[in-house]
Every structure is written in C-alpha cells, then in structure tokens.
Amino acid sequence: MGINYKRELEDAARKMILVHRPKTLIQLIVRMIVNKVKIRHAGILLYNNKLNSYILTVSRGKVGLKIPTGFIRIDTDNAMIKFFMDKTNHRYIDGGVLVYNKISRMLRNRYLLRKHKDLRELLTSLRTQMNLLEAVVAIPSYFQNELLGVLLLGKKVSGRNFHHDELDFFVALAHDVAMAIRNAQLFEELQGQIERNKRLFLETTKALATTIDAKDHYTRGHTERVTQISLSLAKKLIITERIKVDPVFLDDLNISALLHDIGKIGIPEHILNKKGELNEEERRKINEHPLIGAAILEPIEDLKRAIDGVKYHHERFDGRGYPEGLKGDRIPLISSIIAVADSYDAMTTSRPYRPALNKKQAVEEIRKCIDTQFQPVAAKALIELYEEGCL
C-alpha cells in the first residue's frame, strides 16, 4: 500500500505546532522523511544569521551514507543557494525543486541550452553541488520570500526515482517546515530574551541585597546565607515529596530570600547598628521592616508570592509573630521556609549583645520551637540538613 501523503502532511503539521526548538523540529521532519519514504539519507541546510551561511543542521541515515551534521557550510554565493534565492530560475524547474536526473537531462537538451546561453554553466554548477552533497533532490524552504533552508534527499532505498506526487509532498512539507522553523526560532529568541531579563533582574536583586547587608554592619553576608539555606530547605522538601509546588516556586523563593530584609532600607542605621539590646520604640521601628519591604516591592505585579515571603517571614506558627499575627497554615509556605533559614543564620552569627551559637546549639533551639515559632515541616527539613552535614 502506498503512502497517504495528505495524511502524512497533516500529521507532520500537527506535530510541528507542538515543537518550539528549531533543531528538535528539524530532527522530527528528517526522521519522518527517512522512515516513511525509505530514503538512504536526508538532511537540512539551515540559514545561520550570525555566520551568514547555510549549515547542515540535521542529517539522518545509515552511517557512511549520511553527511556528518555541521560538516557542510555553504555561503550565500554558492550556486545552489543563488539559484534558489533568485526565483526567476524556477522557470527551468517544476515547483522550484532541483532533481538531479532532470538537471542531467536538461544538460543534454541542446535546443534549451542554445536558447538560454548561461544555463549550461548554471546547471553544471548545480549538478556538481548535488554530487558533493550526495543529494538527488533539493527542495527550498521559504519564509516570506526569504530562503530559510534547503531540504536535501539522498537516493531511495529501492533505487527508484521520486514520483511527482512525492515531490509535491516535499514542496508542501518544506513550506510548512519554513513556517514552523521560523515560529520555533522566534519562540527561542523570546525565551532567550526572557532568560537575559531574568539574569539581569537577579543580578540587580543581588546588588540590592548587598546594599542592604552593607547598611547593617552586623549582618554582612546574612542575605546570601539565608538565600542558600532557604533554597536547600525547599529542595529537600520537594525531593522528599513533603510539599508540591509549581515550577517557578524556587525562582520566587530565591528572589524573596534575597530581598527578605529590603525593608531595612527604611530603618535608621543607628538602630540597625546599635550595640546592645533595643528599647521598645527601637524594637517597634525595626519590626516595621517587613511591611516597608512589601510596600517597596508591591508595584511589581509578578512578585506577589515573593512579596509574601518578604512581608511574612517574621510570622510565628503559634500566631505571636508580626506584622499580622498569622497562625499555622495561614502563613505562606515561602515565608515559613525563609523564617527558619533566617533564624538559623541569626543564631549562628555574633551580635553586639550576644555571641553566636554553634550549629548544634542553633539546631536544638529550632527543634524546641517546632509548632510554636516554626512551621514543623520546614523546621524538620533544616534539622535533617544539619544531620546530613549539609549546613
């Protein structure tokens, strides 16, 4: 039974919509062609904007028959590329497809060669190029008149020539592939821009966190340590399946932990750096820093969960914390994780009014305060990290 090319084209189109990586998309198409049409090898030359060249991006077939991926690089002044770029050349070929056997027949057509004097040189160059690429068919893939790539097909396993309906299928496929590749490239470029923006935001956040630490002389490095402990805690809970979170939870936690003390920007330095216990008014003032931090970040809509971590990291599980006296499960998970990490680092860091506890002593204090100050799941995870030598 022959291949139902209409159905294959529709099936390929459906699959292409779901793929957002250009190389993965091309691999899918080339694999389908080789397996369905039974071709010895196939490949795609794809335009590389940075190199201003066409690179053999994907090649598939039996070892020894296919051309190694990346081995072929063709400049834009190559005979085949120039031929496809100038669509007036399509008058010599059906549907804009180069077929090796047809090129050879045209070179034997004296009438045609006399009528078009430059044609012999062009066809000879094209045949030479196809010999070098071991291709018997070359199909251009255009997007808005831009030559995006060239589909190269080797001989059929059967040794037979390609039928007209097969060539029509490849032309239609090349058209769909061009649109799918361009969409995938745009998606990839967008993702790249998102990642660059994300890195820039995190670097800015880290710089801001460093500024906060510099303001409070006695907590230098505190923000970075709290962030690392918080992330370790969360990963422990995720791996052991004690919590279920969405894919961006760790990103939000990272930002929230880095910025958990951003509100200290609004606290006078003489209070932050006071040598000795704070009086009631100074304590009230410093307790305002979670609300100040939340107010600073509130205009950034995408940081809602991160803002919760900043606002509520001094809440207590028994409801005796601040700023709102939240209790139990009403305290956001992100805040509970930061609260444990923050307290651990505070206890293991010297203050003007007390020496630092050692790690074992700090962990014992946290153990004592489970169900009162600390959310049990988060606190127990920190204890486990200590027992495993990860703190």
How sure is the predictor about 207, in pLDDT bands with cuts at 50, 70 and 90?
Answer: confident
Position 192 in a domain? no
Question: Are 116 and 250 members of one domain?
Answer: no
CATH number at residue 154: 3.30.450.40
Q: What CATH number is associated with residue 362?
A: 1.10.3210.10
On whether residue 303 sits in a domain, the answer given is yes
Q: Which of 187, 215, 246 finishes a domain?
A: 187
Domain that includes residue 238, residue range: 198-387
Last residue of a domain, one of 134, 158, 187: 187
DSSP-derived secondary structure letter, 345: H
The number of domains in the chain is 2
Q: Are residues 149 and 216 both part of a single domain?
A: no
For position 64, what pLDDT does the model report? 46
Please check whether residues 153 and 278 belong to one and the same domain.
no
The verdict on 204 and 134 lying in the same domain is no
- Specify the range with the lowest mean pLDDT, choosing from 54-58, 100-104, 157-161, 224-228: 54-58
Answer yes or no: is 193 within a domain: no
pLDDT in tens, 295-330: 988 888 788 899 999 999 999 999 999 999 999 999
| Model confidence pLDDT, tens digit, residues 339-369 | 999 999 999 988 766 788 999 999 999 999 9
Q: Are residues 120 and 214 in the same domain?
A: no
C-alpha dist (Å) from residue 384 to 222, 232, 248, 250: 21, 11, 24, 20
Query: Which residues have a Cβ under 8 Å from the Cβ of 161 and sit 6 or more positions away?
Result: 101
Do residues 54 and 100 share a domain?
yes
| Domain-embedded: residue 72 | yes
Question: Are residues 210 and 158 part of one domain?
Answer: no
Three-class HEC string of 153-211: ECCECCCCCCCHHHHHHHHHHHHHHHHHHHHHHHHHHHHHHHHHHHHHHHHHHHHHHHH
Instruction: Give 120's pLDDT tier (boundaries 50, 70, 90).
Output: confident
Verify that 178 and 236 share a domain, yes or no.
no
pLDDT band at 57 (very low <50, low <70, confident <90, very high): confident
Check whether residue 294 and residue 318 sit in a common domain.
yes
Question: Once rounded to an integer, what is the mean pLDDT over residues 235-250?
Answer: 91
Cα maximum dimension of the chain: 105
- Shared domain for 14 and 99, answered yes or no, is yes
Decide which of 124, 156, 187 is a domain's last residue: 187
Lowest mean pLDDT among 62-76, 205-219, 284-298: 62-76
Q: Is the pLDDT of residue 217 over 80?
A: no
